[in-house]
Amino acid sequence: YSHCYMSCFKRVPESLKMQTVQESPLNLSLTLGELLKKDTIKVELIPEKKGLFLKHVEYQVTTKRFAVSVYRRYNDFDVFHELLLQRYAYRVVPALPPKRALKGGKREFIEGRRRALDRFLNLVARHPVFSEDELVKTFLTFSGSDVQTKLRDACKKLGDEFMTCKYATHAKDYLPADIQSQFSSSRELIKNIHSSLQKLRDRAERMAERSKENATDLLMFGKELSSLGSDESPVPILASCKSPWAALRRSVKGLSVEFSLLSEKAAEQGRREEDDVVEKLNLFLDLLQSYRDLCERHEKGVLHEHQRALQKYGVMKRQMLSATVQPKEQVSVEQLESRIVQQENAIQAMELRNYFSLFCLHQESQLIFTYLPITSHILGAFVNSQVQGHKEMGEVWQDLHSKLKSLFGDGNGQSPPLSPK
């Protein structure tokens, strides 16, 4: 069986050999726009269901491509992710968020996990290979009672990508001669991009947080003005003859309306920064991290197993040499020969897997570079968010300025100086 299995690897169809460079399956021809159009997934939290002893979080997963909604629990995502990794060990499979909170409050953790699951599914559903897979379609569309069993059955039927991809056994024919140096330079560049975008995301998060804090402060500022203006304490006669405070404090109370509106605008600004900037950065960072994980899998998995197999083969060859120099029982020599043939087949299979792994890595590197223009989308969203936020808040501040002039201006409508000249 192993001999037949290996011999089929050696036969490369002539039609595949004759393909031009432009037609090579190694090259991805998709644009960012085409990737983003593949699907849009929404993962929404639905109210907790309480059983007799436990309550659990459930998600509504809606796919635009298949126009259907299904319900999933975290454990369903976990099984799906595990099977996706089994089937596509040589591809960028994004990580799942943790099952339980490591720090912070429960509500913040649940919302953060929902966002991460949303990003995970969108990256998977837009991947040029995953998007056409039965496993992915099952997760997004199956509405039966036991999705995990359905997923496992689909995975058993399909096997891993090496066994089903028509290019797997002759991937070497498509690889450029300098594939290793290309891989090294791509890996280093993507590592640097990942590092810079993490810092940008951290700053964007802080800005969104400050916008929310600003919203709270503006609201409290307005409440304090309202409290000040609502003070009904009588003004002493001594002060009342010199100060218009009794009349002014009623005006001060009315200013809380503008500050409440400013608070709403600042909160909207924080939400925009979080949704349009931080989340988009997180999506791309998830993809970059999964690429770095893939590089580690390639080195620790296929390459490491290949090296171990070669070492084992070397030991067997030495044993065989020793057996021929020092005659032993014929049976043990034949057994050793059989094991050497098996090991040679195993090494050949591993070599093919190693080339296929490099083939996939080359494609996944192209996928990362196809996604790179998303940085301009993110910067555009960031600038638009600031323009909109400052414009809206500027209009309210201007209204407030006009109101102050009419309330506190002197006889000529001029506001009194706030500091001595």
Q: What is the pLDDT of residues 25-66, one digit of tens each?
A: 999 889 999 999 999 999 999 876 555 455 678 999 999 999
Question: Using one digit for the tens of pLDDT, what is the confidence trace for 99-109?
Answer: 877 666 688 88
Sign of the torsion formed by the C-alpha atoms of 272, 43, 156 and 301: positive
Work out the number of other CB atoms within 10 angstroms of the CB of residue 375.
Answer: 16
pLDDT one-digit tens code per residue, 115-139: 999 999 999 999 999 999 999 999 9
Quote the CA–CA distance of 225 and 257 in Å, as a whole number. 10
Q: What does each C-alpha distance from 263 to 45, 208, 220, 250, 399 come to in angstroms? A: 27, 14, 9, 21, 15
Q: What CA–CA distance (Å, rounded) separates 381 from 272?
A: 9
CB-side exposure of 201: number of CA atoms within 13 Å? Answer: 17
CA separation for the pair 67, 265 (Å, rounded) = 34
Q: Which two tokens stand for residue 25?
A: 């399956």
pTM of the model: 0.81
Say yes or no to pLDDT of 345 above 80. Answer: no
Cα 348 to Cα 17, 167, 250: the distances in Å are 20, 16, 88
Query: Does the pLDDT of residue 329 top 70, yes or no?
Result: no
Tell whether the model's pLDDT for residue 8 goes beyond 90: no
Q: Given pLDDT bands bounded at 50, 70 and 90, which one contains residue 305?
A: low
What sign results for the dihedral spanned by CA atoms 213, 215, 216, 220? positive
How confident is the model over 234-248, as a mean pLDDT?
66
